[in-house]
């Protein structure tokens, strides 16, 4: 594992005590070597994959979930079928989207058909009310966010890089869920492994934009350095609190995809790498 300099030993501000309240839970399924990182907060089958337990080779070894990064499509098919099985979904019951760093939300009423987990269209969030159908997003440093709505009986998967955090793709998703009967106070949200503040450095006008949107604690300045560290999960948790969600409704997994060699990392691997899949099955 490449060594990275940790600026602050404190991964997240004290206000995110919710991390300790719910915490991550790692579950293995059957006799396979695959495992999904899960949140104790969610009650429906779900998980955040790492890079182990698949059949891809080279920089995509081994559980790459994306056909758009140069990997062998047949290997990706197998990987996605295994991932669907981990949440109890058939290979033809996994719906994903072609992620474009926007704020479009798609509803999945069935999987696309054709290749396993083929994208329904351009969007960065996908939700479903169809029991048995799983929805997923692909990441390699960006934030994967899974949402469970036990009142409206629907689930969502959201992809948010810094553009999606500032653009509030998660808020757009919650608005769609509310149109289908969701009550904000009953939602459960899990933010999965992503690049954390230890590794996410930005410059230009981005630090000021984040401070304006999420308050001063979202950035960490280091004396003598032009770049500033931004805490993307904190920004998302802050926006959820602003919408009225309680701390017990939000689980922020602390894993950093760039620090931790278990994960694919776009930054660490200089762009030539695979993607994890974060998925949730509607089981209401
Ligand atoms: Zn890190």
User: How many whole angstroms from 200 Cα to the centroid of ligand 1?
Assistant: 7
Give the Cβ contact number of residue 14 at 10 Å.
Answer: 7
Q: How far does the centroid of ligand 1 lie from the alpha carbon of residue 186, in Å? A: 32
C-alpha 254 – ligand 1 centre gap (Å): 10
Q: Report the pLDDT value the prediction gives residue 280, as an integer from 0 to 100.
A: 98
* CA–centroid distance, residue 192 to ligand 1 (Å): 14
Pairing of strands 125-128, 105-108: parallel
Ligand 1 centre and the CA of 231: distance in Å? Answer: 11
For residue 276, which of 128, 13, 86, 90 has the smallest C-alpha distance? 86
CA 197 – ligand 1 centroid, Å: 7
The full set of domains in the chain, from first to last, is 16-279 (3.60.140.10)
Q: Ligand 1 centroid to 144 CA: how many Å?
A: 16
pLDDT on residue 138: 98
**Cβ < 5 A residues, ion ligand 1:** 196, 198-199, 256, 258-259
Listed in order, strand segments (DSSP E) in 140-235 are 143-149, 154-160, 188-191, 201-202, 219-221, 228-230
Is it true that the peptide bond before 62 is cis, omega within 30 degrees of 0?
Answer: yes
Q: What is the pLDDT of residue 119?
A: 96
**Rounded to the nearest whole angstrom, what is the distance from the C-alpha of residue 265 to the centroid of ligand 1?**
10
Helix (H, G, I), strand (E, B) or coil at 79: helix
Give the pLDDT confidence score for residue 241 in this predicted structure: 96
Going residue by residue through the chain (284 aa), what tens digit of pLDDT does each one get? 344 333 333 333 323 323 334 556 666 655 566 778 999 999 999 999 999 999 999 999 999 999 999 999 999 999 999 999 989 999 999 999 999 999 999 999 999 988 999 999 999 999 999 999 999 999 999 999 999 999 999 999 999 999 999 999 999 999 999 999 999 999 999 999 999 999 999 999 999 999 999 999 999 988 888 889 999 999 999 999 999 999 999 999 999 999 999 999 999 999 899 999 999 999 99
CA of 244 to the centre of ligand 1 (A): 29
Q: For residues 20 and 251, give the distance between their C-alpha atoms in angstroms, rounded to a whole number.
A: 9
State how far the alpha carbon of 72 is from the alpha carbons of 55, 97, 126, 148, in Å. 10, 19, 25, 33
What pTM was computed for the model? Answer: 0.91
**Cα 175 to averaged position of ligand 1 atoms, centre (Å):** 31
Cα–ligand 1 centroid distance for 196 (angstroms):
5
Q: Give residue for tokens 């069935």.
A: 110
> How many A from CA of 128 to the centre of ligand 1?
32
What distance in angstroms lies between residue 202's CA and the mean position of ligand 1's atoms?
14
Q: Give residue 130 CA to ligand 1 midpoint distance, Å.
A: 36
| CA of 206 relative to ligand 1 center, distance in Å | 19
CA of 212 relative to ligand 1 center, distance in Å = 24
Q: List, in sequence order, every residue forming a beta bridge with 191; answer none if it has no partner.
A: 145, 252
Give the pLDDT of residue 34: 78
**CA 4–ligand 1 middle distance (angstroms):** 7
**pLDDT at residue number 26:** 65
Residues in the chain: 284
Ligand 1 centroid to residue 118 C-alpha, Å: 31
């Amino acid at each position: 594992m490449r060594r990275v300099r940790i600026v602050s030993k404190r991964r997240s501000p004290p206000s995110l005590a919710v991390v300790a309240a719910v915490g991550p839970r790692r579950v293995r399924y059957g006799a396979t070597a695959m495992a999904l990182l899960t949140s104790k907060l969610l009650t429906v089958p779900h998980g955040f994959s790492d890079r182990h337990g698949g059949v891809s080779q080279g920089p995509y070894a081994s559980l790459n979930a994306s056909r758009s990064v140069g990997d062998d499509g047949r290997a990706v098919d197998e990987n996605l079928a295994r991932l669907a099985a981990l949440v109890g979904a058939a290979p033809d019951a996994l719906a994903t989207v072609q992620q474009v760093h926007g704020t479009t939300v798609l509803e999945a009423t069935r999987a696309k058909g054709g290749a396993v987990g083929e994208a329904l269209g351009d969007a960065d969030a996908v939700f479903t009310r169809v029991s048995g159908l799983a929805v997923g997003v692909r990441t390699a440093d960006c934030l994967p966010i899974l949402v469970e709505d036990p009142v409206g009986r629907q689930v969502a998967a959201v992809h948010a890089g810094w553009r999606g955090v500032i653009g509030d793709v998660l808020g757009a998703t919650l608005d769609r869920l509310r149109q289908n009967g969701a009550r904000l106070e009953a939602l459960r949200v899990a933010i999965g492994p992503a690049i954390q503040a230890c590794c996410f450095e930005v410059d230009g006008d981005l630090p000021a934009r984040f401070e304006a949107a999420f308050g001063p604690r979202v950035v960490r300045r280091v004396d003598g350095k032009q770049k500033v560290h931004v805490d993307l999960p904190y920004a998302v948790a802050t926006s959820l609190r602003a919408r009225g969600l309680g701390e017990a409704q939000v689980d922020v997994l602390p894993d950093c995809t760039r620090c931790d060699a278990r994960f694919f990392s776009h930054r660490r691997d200089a762009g030539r790498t695979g993607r994890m899949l974060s998925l949730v099955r509607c089981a209401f």
